[in-house]
Structures are given as C-alpha cells and as structure tokens.
Amino acid sequence: MTLSPKLSCRNVWKIYGPNAQTLLQTYPDPSDQDIADAGVVGAVRSANLDIAEGEIFVIMGLSGSGKSTLVRCLSRLIEPTKGEVLFDGVDLLRASEPELIDIRRHKMGMVFQHFALLPHLSVLQNVSFPLIIQGVSKAQADIKAREVVELVGLKGREDNFPRELSGGQQQRVGIARSLVSEPDLWFLDEPFSALDPLIRREMQDEFLRLQARLHKTIVFITHDFDEAVRLADRIAIMKDGKIIQVATPEELLMNPVSEYVAEFTRHIPRSKVLTVGGLMTPGTNGAGEPIAQSAKISDVAEQIIAAEGPISVANESGQIVGSIDRVAVAQVLFARQGGA
C-alpha cells in the first residue's frame, strides 16, 4: 500500500465551552487539570493522523472517546478549535464555504448509523438525489443511480420505498447514495451497528466486496473490535479525546502500548487476527503449495496442521519468503486467551 497520505490531521483539538480559544492560547497543550479548571470539555485532543490513499482506516473507542467528533472534524461537519485537516494537501479549515460544499458534493461520501433516507422517495430517487443536487440531468442521474443500485445488490428494488425494505437493504441504499457521486474519500460512522448480527456480517462482506472493486480511501468508526479486525488495514484507538495507538490489527494484538489497548484485543481469538507472515520462519525450508503471507491463521490452520512438515509461504508476487509449521499454529490456537 502506498504511504502517500490522502487525509491528514495535525494537532487537531475540539474543545467545547466558552473559554476554549482562551485556554489553547494560554496553554498550547493543556493538561487534564488545565481543561478541568477552565470548565470546558476536551472532546478531541491533539489528534495527529495520516490516512493513506486506498486505505480502510478504522477509528475505535468506547462511547465518549471522541471518535465521532474526530471524524466530524476531519470532514469539517464541525469546526475544530485548533489544528489542520489536509485533504490531498489542501487545508480544509482554510477552505471557503463554496469550496467546502464543492468538496463534499464531489469528493466525499458519508454514511451514518441512522440511514436518513427520504421516506417519500423511491430507492432510485434516494440514490440519485445527490446528483440532482449537483445539477446533473434526471436522465443521467437515473442511469448512474441504477448502476450503483446494482453494485450494492439491490437491482429490482429501484421502485421500492424505504418502508418496504429491510434494515440491511435500507443501509445498502444509504451506501449507494454516498457512492453515486464517486467520492475519493468515504466516511462511515458505525454504519452497521443498528443491524442484527447476521445482517451485520453480510453488510461487512458487502463492504469488503465493494472496496475490492472501488479502492476508496475509507475512514470507518466502530466500537466493535471483531468488526475492526475484519475490515481495517489500520486501527486508531481513542480514549478521552486522545489517540492512544495507531497500528495494524496484528500489531495491536502483539504490541499494545497500554493496558487500555490490550483490553480491546483481550477476548479476540488470536488466530483471526494473526497472519501467516507474522508467524513464519524466513527462508526457503518449506514444501508443498505455498500459503499466502497475508492469510489469517484461522483460514489455513487445518491445512498447516495436516501437513507432514513446514509449508512454504509466498508474498504477493508469488516469491517464497518463508515457511510455517504446525507448532507455530498450535501455539496460537491453544494459547491461553488474553495471556502471554
């Protein structure tokens, strides 16, 4: 994955209260006590992030951790108290209102937990609505909307109204509506949390299918580490408005920087997070059909355990880079959960 940042934030603060600006002028990096003494709330505190183009970047935290506030600062739905938000190198906080409107209409897509579909409009009309707002002709908007409706698996439902759809289908309409203008950057704030577990799993599968085809830069909020592990290239853990750690799911599991971060991963089966590449022995001592370096242990454990000896491991280019054996897999499968 390229590391050129699509979206960055630098020292972003969001403080609620009448003395917010005065506080940051007096104390550029106020402590917990400074914030408490000023009678304000530090919703986002000195946030620094670089999100790569084409990356699924998940922001996690308990309720009140600041994750939704941070995303609203990144999209400038709310105004940060201090800092920079850079989108393709342009500081959104310096953009004029017309410039910001244009960026939101053409370069950003947003999906929230509550679908916010227009009840008096059909599926096709809901999906084409952003294009109509942009001034696209109805005929062209309908053509594009039909393509996106089919993309999210709702072909044949174009004339249905939201009340005639299931929760999962309504969320697909919300996703289609956010995609119809072909955004470069896609924000999703707990989009599946209102769905029952089976439909939620289906929507995660659908989301990954769409991403494999569209390669969007995605900022995704969730409080569910299982969901984050399935979807994320990298995860940011937040607490009390601060970003505590940014890492891949595997790095968070193996090297948490604090007990708070470790608690998020404690009850996750390690085999679902750890990859073959993380456990392999470098070299060419394996045999048989190579296993992908990026494969999750849970997906290939049976194959490795059944093998007579070490199995070869290949990188994305097909080059043999190591081997893995049943002992390494057994240590993962039978390790004490949450322990060393």
* Domain containing residue 288: CATH number: 3.10.580.10
Last residue of a domain, one of 206, 238, 264: 264
Residue 269 scores a pLDDT above 50: yes
Q: At what angle do helices 123-134 and 138-151 cross, to 10 degrees?
A: 130
Residues 318 and 196 in one domain: no
Q: What is the pLDDT of residue 336?
A: 54
Whole-structure pTM value: 0.86
Residue 40 scores a pLDDT above 90: yes
Residue 156 falls inside a structural domain? no
Residue 168 scores a pLDDT above 90: no
Residues 241 and 289 in one domain: no
Last residue of a domain, one of 216, 245, 264: 264
Residues 316 and 204 in one domain: no
> How large is the C-alpha radius of gyration of the chain?
23
CA 328 to chain centre: 30
Residues 103 and 189 in one domain: yes
Residues 212 and 251 in one domain: yes
Helix ranges (H only) for the chain are 20-26, 32-38, 67-74, 97-106, 123-134, 138-151, 167-179, 197-214, 225-231, 249-254, 259-265, 270-273, 276-279, 297-306, 326-333
Residues 102 and 202 in one domain: yes
Residue 31 falls inside a structural domain? no
Mean pLDDT of 307-327: 91
Percent of all residues in the chain with a pLDDT value above 90, rounded to a whole number: 56
Residues 100 and 190 in one domain: yes
200-245: pLDDT as tens digits:
888 888 889 889 988 999 999 998 888 998 899 999 999 999 999 9
Pick from 131, 137, 71: which is nearest to 105 by CA? 131
The helix/strand/coil state of 243 is strand
Q: What is the pLDDT of residue 339?
A: 45
Residue 286 falls inside a structural domain? yes
Please tell me the total count of domains within the chain: 2
Residue 321 falls inside a structural domain? yes
φ, ψ of residue 235 to 5 degrees: the values are: -130, 135
Q: What is the pLDDT of residue 338?
A: 47
* CATH code of the domain covering residue 244: 3.40.50.300
89-103: pLDDT as tens digits:
889 999 988 998 889
Residues 246 and 285 in one domain: no
Q: What is the pLDDT of residue 191?
A: 85
Mean pLDDT of 157-169: 92
Mean pLDDT of 149-170: 91
Residue 195 scores a pLDDT above 90: no
Residue 177 falls inside a structural domain? no
Burial class, 1, CB count within 10 angstroms (exposed 0-12 / middle 13-18 / buried 19+): exposed
Write b or e for each residue in 217-242: b if 16 or more Cβ atoms lie within 10 A of its Cβ, otherwise e.
bbbbbbbbbbbbbbbbbbbbbbbbbe
Q: What is the pLDDT of residue 322?
A: 92
Q: What is the pLDDT of residue 1?
A: 44
Write b or e for each residue in 285-295: b if 16 or more Cβ atoms lie within 10 A of its Cβ, otherwise e.
ebeeebbbbeb
Residues 231 and 324 in one domain: no
Mean pLDDT of the chain: 89
Q: Report the run of H or E that residue 235 belongs to, with start and end.
A: strand 234-239
Q: What is the pLDDT of residue 3?
A: 54
Residue 150 falls inside a structural domain? no
Range of the domain at 213: 54-80+96-107+183-264
